[in-house]
Amino acid sequence: MSCKTVLSKEISSSFREELKATIKSRGIKPKLVGFLANQDPSAVKYAESTSKTCEETGVVFELRKCNREELEDQIVEANEDDNIHGIMVYYPVFGDHVEGLCHKYIYNMYHNVRFLDREETKKCIIPCTPLAIVKVLEFIGVYNPVLPYGNRLHGRVITIINRSEIVGRPLAALLANDGGKVFSVDINSIQEFHRGTGLKLKKHEVRDTNLKLEEIVPISDVVITGVPTPSYKLPTALLRDGVIVINFSAFKNFEDNVREKASIYVPAVGKVTIAMLERNLLRLFDYKSQD
Amino acid sequence: MSCKTVLSKEISSSFREELKATIKSRGIKPKLVGFLANQDPSAVKYAESTSKTCEETGVVFELRKCNREELEDQIVEANEDDNIHGIMVYYPVFGDHVEGLCHKYIYNMYHNVRFLDREETKKCIIPCTPLAIVKVLEFIGVYNPVLPYGNRLHGRVITIINRSEIVGRPLAALLANDGGKVFSVDINSIQEFHRGTGLKLKKHEVRDTNLKLEEIVPISDVVITGVPTPSYKLPTALLRDGVIVINFSAFKNFEDNVREKASIYVPAVGKVTIAMLERNLLRLFDYKSQD
């Protein structure tokens, strides 16, 4: 079998080591508070892995459980506490609504604004899972480092099957802002995110396409899935030979024979997500101390 | 303009520096003899650049001019001279025939045999221009170093417009052996070179395809041209947005607007070819001294 399986543990390890070394050498105690306002087994599991990884790397993690009605007040309170450097909320809380991401960062992400300051010293915070997938794509050679920063996906065609507000849509925007041509698929429609021929646009634009899944998957260099049901399987027959496939769903969205066709298979990204969570926390710690 | 132009000087410089340092530190005098049996201006120019680069890097270069009728005897004589480590013949000599490459190396190249010995210490010699283009593709990120050696082009679709025996056909074989799906175009036909779905074959196979140039260019990640006429121009309109384009012809085979669509443009490979010539010479020097 020529397919190479790349595990998220391998991808995340250099980030984890770097975080650990930084926290130790600087003697700092960045603190993360996680709010759990549901009984969703995936959310509980995510909270447990967060706790474990934080302990390993030297981040103080505190899990606060509450009812969803109390959540807003609790967030406001934590936000005013100078000893807390980052807050995360385990989803879902109120179902399908857009939840919890800071408005300024959302705006900047969609508008391809990468820094908070004119001097470009403070990078914007990117949501953990989309950021983790960017790091996965860098690790496995989809970003071309020969191209200038910001254009390194030029020429890549990427399908993302998931357009949730917390992963699929921001991911499509990030990859299109980096120069990729992205097909964003949800149950209702397929949209195309891109910066135009020759990347003539500064930020991506979005348009509906009449192309069907059966037409876009065979022309995609990379296919990323995040369908939250055990029954969904993308047919291997649709994939281009040598495709790169990445799954971020808790369920396997590819068929068992996907490795007969793919060149690289990343079955999960969870460990990279937690490394990015801590990396974001460290940035927030620094921005707070510079205020 | 988002396209990045990569010059062969930049690609070859690290190879040249390495060659220079090796030759100096080992105190060796590898000697290359070039035979010029024609008045072709490109051949004369190539001989001149060889001479210049050899001088810079510490290779002894001797140009021997002769009539084409004398050439065979002269090659045999040079081949028996222990002070000569490499021989090259400037083409063309007898027109379109297969000329001058050592049979064993040709066989090994087409059969994906990469070493001369079982212990895999002696790499086979690859013809300079195809090898130079492999190095160009490595430099600009087309080979994916995450994949195992020998499979690093898996998933890449590459069109080569030239199927000469000295560049286009061996190049198609090399890239297909490395896992790529290669369309090899000449004036009469288009052939497909590849190792099958999931790279199930150990070496490439070749088949004719009914696909037309207008169908293969738009699905190619990389387009490599080597058409030896000033009038040939590949229409930019056919190219995929973000394509990587490489020209090894002495004439510009792409239209002036190619940079509006390509992500990377390599206008020439000559300097890399000469670096590979010297690299091959150094291997031959070592193999000779190990005999």
Query: Across the interface, do A197 and B243 touch by the CB < 8 Å criterion?
Result: no
| Closest CA of chain B from A181, distance in Å | 9
Q: Which residues contact A164 (CB under 8 A, 6 or more apart)?
A: A226
Name every chain B residue with its beta carbon within 8 A of the beta carbon of A140: 144, 146
Quote the DSSP letter at residue B254. B
Point out the residue among A4, A145, A154 whose CB comes nearest to the CB of B263: A154
CA distance B216 to B209: 10
The C-alpha of B181 sits at a distance from chain A's nearest C-alpha, in angstroms, of: 9
- Please tell me the predicted confidence (pLDDT) of residue B93: 87
CA A229 centroid distance within chain: 19
CA B62 to chain centre: 22
Q: B1 and A179 in contact by Cβ < 8 A?
A: no
How many other C-beta atoms are found inside a 10 Å radius of the C-beta of residue A92?
16
pLDDT at A98: 53
- A122 band by pLDDT with thresholds 50, 70 and 90: very high
Active-site pick, A3, A102, A124, A128: A128
Q: Answer whether CATH 3.30.70.3290 is correct for domain A15-97+271-290.
A: no
For residues A75-96, average pLDDT: 89
Rounded to a whole number of angstroms, the distance from the CA of A38 to the nearest CA of chain B is: 40
CA dist B270 and B53 (Å) reads 11
Q: What is the pLDDT of residue B97?
A: 55
> What tokens does B57 get?
């890097």
Q: What are phi and psi of B61, to 5 degrees?
A: -120, 130
Q: Pick from B122, B68, B124, B131: which is nearest to B100 by CA?
A: B68
The domain A128-269 is placed in CATH, from the list 2.60.40.1220, 3.30.499.10, 3.40.50.720, 3.40.50.920, at 3.40.50.720
Mean pLDDT value of segment A220-230? 97
Compute the distance between CA of residue B92 and CA of residue B43 in angstroms, rounded to an integer: 8
Contact A182, A158 (CB under 8 A): yes
Q: In A, which residues are within 8 Å of B6 by CB distance?
A: 146
Q: How far apart are the first and last CA of chain A?
A: 53
Q: Are A168 and A246 in contact (CB under 8 A)?
A: no
d(CA A123, CA A106): 13
* Whether the predicted pLDDT of A99 surpasses 60: no
Best CA proximity match to A171, nearest among B216, A161, A14: A161
- Give me chain A's average pLDDT, please: 94
Predicted pLDDT of residue B95: 73
Whether residue A239 contacts residue A213, with contact meaning beta carbons closer than 8 Å, is answered with no
Note if B3 is an active site residue: no
What residues in B contact A265, CB-CB < 8 Å?
A: none
* Closest Cα in chain A to B138: A146
Q: Which residues of chain A are at the B interface, by a Cβ-Cβ cutoff of 8 Å?
A: 1-4, 6, 139-141, 144-148, 151, 154-156, 179, 181, 197-200, 219, 221, 240-244, 259-261, 263-264
Instruction: Say how far apart CA B265 and CA B246 lie, in whole Å.
Output: 6
Q: Which residue has the tokens 């041209």?
A: B225
The number of C-alpha atoms within 13 Å of A143 and in the hemisphere containing its C-beta is 18
Taking only the tens place, the pLDDT of each residue in A167-211 is 999 999 999 999 999 999 999 999 999 999 999 999 999 999 999
CA nearest neighbour of A37 among A61, A67, A72: A67
- CB contact under 8 Å between A197 and B1, yes or no, is no
CA distances from B207 to B55, B182, B189, B191, B204 (A): 44, 11, 11, 6, 10
> Where in chain A are all domains bearing CATH 3.40.50.10860?
15-97+271-290
The answer to whether the Cβ–Cβ distance between B181 and A241 falls below 8 Å is yes
| Residues of chain B predicted below pLDDT 50 | none
How far apart are the CA of B123 and the nearest CA of chain A, in angstroms? Answer: 23
* Residues A10-32 pLDDT 10s: 999 999 999 999 999 999 999 99
Distances (CA, A) of B163 to B32, B127, B176: 28, 14, 14
**Which residue intervals of chain A bear CATH 3.40.50.720?**
128-269
Q: Tokens 């013809």 — which residue?
A: B127
pLDDT on residue B103: 81
Q: Is the ipTM of this complex over 0.95?
A: no
Q: How far is CA B19 from CA A131, B34, B274, in A?
A: 41, 19, 11
